Amino acid sequence: MSIVAEAGSNVLKLDKMNYELIGNECHRIHWHVYLRMKGDTPVISSIYQLPNSILFDESSRPSDDVRKDNINRIKNEIERLLAL
């Protein structure tokens, strides 16, 4: 997870990052990494304190093209970090 977090931070120049490790309700452990940037939500708060109407508001999300580009850039950065 540290490599994923580092890659996201390197590529997107993040302001903040939230990690969540889950394993209580499922038979495996999995992670959520929330890459946070100023303005990603209209209210500065933990994502768990935001109502779904704000959290899932499409107007505050990047376009599909920007998301795809970010995903590719983060994947490339992960590969670069793993090769070090």
Residue 1 DSSP SS3: coil
pLDDT tens sequence across 12-46: 988 888 888 887 777 788 888 888 888 777 777 77
Domain of 71 in residue numbering reads as: 2-83
Number of domains composing the chain? 1
Burial of 29 (C-beta count, 10 Å sphere; 0-12/13-18/19+): exposed
Q: Are 47 and 41 in contact (CB under 8 A)?
A: yes
pLDDT tens sequence across 58-84: 887 889 999 999 999 999 999 999 999
What pLDDT does 74 receive?
96
- Bridge partners (DSSP) listed for residue 67: none
